[in-house]
Amino acid sequence: MGLRSEQLNEREILRYLGCQAEVPPEDLVQSVRRCSREVAAAARPKTVWRLFPLEGSHPAGTAVTFDGEDIARHLADCHSVILMAATLGPDIESLLLRAQVRDMAEALVMDACASAAIEAVCDELEAGLRSEWEAKGGYLTDRFSPGYGDFPITQQSSLCGLLDVQRRIGLTLSASGILIPRKSVTAVTGIADSPRHRRSRGCEGCAMYEHCQMRKGGTPCGS
């Protein structure tokens, strides 16, 4: 799987950076486009997914139980669950570190572009799975990651174990539960026999959740 700079949502990147202007400053737009090209060139996206029948609140045949009311509601009426993981690869880490040494303003733009890039990779994976299952008469929920709502971030470890992410896509988990490389995502998607309500993509589902200055300032970009 490759990545093109055109796949990165420029408007989304500008919102990550706190720019709400109808006509953004030209120098910022050019910086976003330049950094998007660098991120796309450095990215080595890898994804992995696995299907399980769903029994109550856990993937059948495993010792994993999904904790939290939000994930239970998300998977209500689903008969199966897809676990997925995606990463941009380690070269993005090096790119971001070099940018921090060179120019902190550019590093912020680069980080926003990388966040948009991992979202684009996840979107592509989810869209492919959705098309595949709809052709079979199944309907997918949208993806739901550990850390959303009351779905504990600690469940990241369970997903990583079931997906064997270290061997398959080079993804590891720190002692504090942080995915390494950082521009990586794990998520859960349910499969049902009827169309599912799609959640609006709010702050909780955003790759920039922890660092977004707009959210911290009380004006999330989805408002």
Phi, psi of 95, deg, nearest 5: -60, -45
Q: What CA–CA distance (Å, rounded) separates 208 from 206? A: 5
At 200 the three-state DSSP class reads coil
Mean confidence (pLDDT) of the chain: 88
Tokens at residue 25, please? 């400053």
* Beta pairing partners, 47: 86
Say whether pLDDT at 31 is over 90. yes
Cα distance between residue 222 and residue 75, in whole Å: 24
Per-residue pLDDT tens digits for 55-109: 987 899 999 999 999 999 999 999 999 999 999 999 999 999 999 999 999 999 9
CA distance 99 to 35: 10
- All domains of the chain, ordered by start, with CATH? 5-194 (3.40.109.40)
**Each residue of 177-187: pLDDT tens digit?**
899 999 999 99
**By the 8 A CB rule, do 66 and 123 touch?**
no
